[in-house]
Structure 1
């Protein structure tokens, strides 16, 4: 895994979980598990997890055809088939194979397509996978479009998309923020949850803005810049639950702001893990801003 991935790990996890959580069928609902993964990886050159078999091809056949004791979802946590560990081309193929499965299943008659035609479906369950994940791919400069052969629809493909230029969430061009909410980019679900709370509190909010610092020739991306009463401050969310960056590294990253005496407020993963914790954090921020206003 390199830092120059088109599909960062956090983005991949969000895509896979979006389908697993919201779609009634998942990624592999139309064809055999063995056939699914054979589209993505060379099964004959992957090791078997069962010592009785010579490679992953025989392993999968034995445990998904002869005996159905391998589940697709559990295989996604197997290092041989984990989408988070795939190369970019493999992950793209994984998504396209899942999209094709979903597309072809929807061509079946109602009595064969199963719960697709069940009136008990609610919410996202049963929606086409393409509709579920297209906004996610669009948020990082890709799109999901119909694929045709000889004028006939056969599935979907992931393609690069021309997107409107935006610095937001793109301080590191090789690692854009992978998540999207209300047309804005975020690097973690916690950032989205915190954005909702701080926005509801009446602050002017800029999530993941990009600043350029000439002395160090660096682009700096704080988690949030917030403004109220004509006062502005930076909010940083620290914690392994959503950032790989250590607090010390974050402090070095924010030196251009501390050198300019910009106010920085930090919170840890423990403080923001719950809605109650985020509520207390917002209240603390409001108190700080009130104190700063009174001291001017």
Structure 2
């Protein structure tokens, strides 16, 4: 009994020694910053002075900040463009992938390269491609006799940035939907064909409903992505024109490091995270359905 007790203590000690580095890392790089962030939200601090407790002043300030309201409207605009674009492009890519017989792995890896590309690098690339004197506008001008203000028109700027983000994530989100397509039993399609269903009916009545978990996953990821957009508008438009591409992350960055107000920037970050979480929960509650294959 004594030997078993000693063995148990050694096993527990070994287990603690294995998880201790991870716990220490989490506490230092996640736990402490999170606690400090919450503390900052209730204080006034500018990096140099001693933090002063201001209770809910920072949170109340958000509701009277006209720029926050402008950015909230910008975010809704980004959502209105990005979610349909991402869902359509990813679904199209996934369905096309099911028809590919050879080189499927190469195609998947080719699209995933965009997902791991440097945001600064491809932002500069697309900025040059879509510039007023860039190759795309030169082609449009030669064909139709006019140029398109991709980044100087507010709505076109939002659309263009969403187009770039869709290009970046089409491979990653497409693979999620592709996995959902592969999980649908072929027997369901065979039974539908025997009942006389055409391809259009099969797609709308069988494929899309059974893809609900995958589509909701992509939608949730697209929502969290939208609230975290930074590199593309910061590098391409700088938040313009007319502040229509300014996002919450750009505003947090400017507030914390240009206006030297990290307390208020932290408050905006917390409120943004809570709003995005609430939106994700609403999407899941009203649109997510359980799919059971019998």
Q: TM-score, normalised by structure 1?
A: 0.18
Higher relative contact order (CA 8 A, sep 6+): 2
Greater share of residues in strand: 1
Q: TM-score, normalised by structure 2?
A: 0.18
Greater share of residues in helix: 2
